[in-house]
Amino acid sequence: MIGVTMVAANTYEAVVERGGIRSSHRVTLSPECYRTLCGGAFTHEWVIVQVLRFLREREPHGAVADEFDVEDIRARHADFDADIVRRLGTTPASRSSA
């Protein structure tokens, strides 16, 4: 289970429960990155759920940082945008604004 709550402008608190273990993450999602990933078609919270699912599939258990910016994940994983767009079922927005 993944729950996401907005705690400040562009900042979200995410709680991830996996295999009886719970972790919390403070996630920053800029408006530009949000538009690039989904064009405004989904809530910010749903986009972050997909980001955390992406990370859960690629990073070792316990390796997801307590605080991170989605832009840093984009920079670290070449397939990030395409994967998130696929998960959301959206058409990628222009990256020139990101």
pLDDT tens per residue, range 32-90: 999 999 999 999 999 999 999 999 999 887 889 999 999 999 999 999 999 999 999 87
CA-based nearest residue to 95, from 81, 83, 84: 81
**Rounded CA gap, 75 and 41, in Å?**
23
Q: Which long-range contacts (CB under 8 A, 24 or more apart) does 15-18 make?
A: 16/52, 16/56, 16/64, 18/56, 18/61
Position 71 in a domain: yes
Position 59 in a domain: yes
Domain that holds residue 62: 2-92
**Rounded CA gap, 98 and 92, in Å?**
12
CA-based nearest residue to 62, from 97, 27, 22, 96: 22
Count of domains for the chain:
1
Tell me, what's the pLDDT at 96?
37
Partners of 5 in the beta sheet? 13
Secondary structure of residue 1 in the 3-state scheme: coil
Position 98 in a domain: no
| Whether the model pTM is above 0.85 | yes
Tokens 């608190």 identify what position?
Answer: 13
Position 43 in a domain: yes
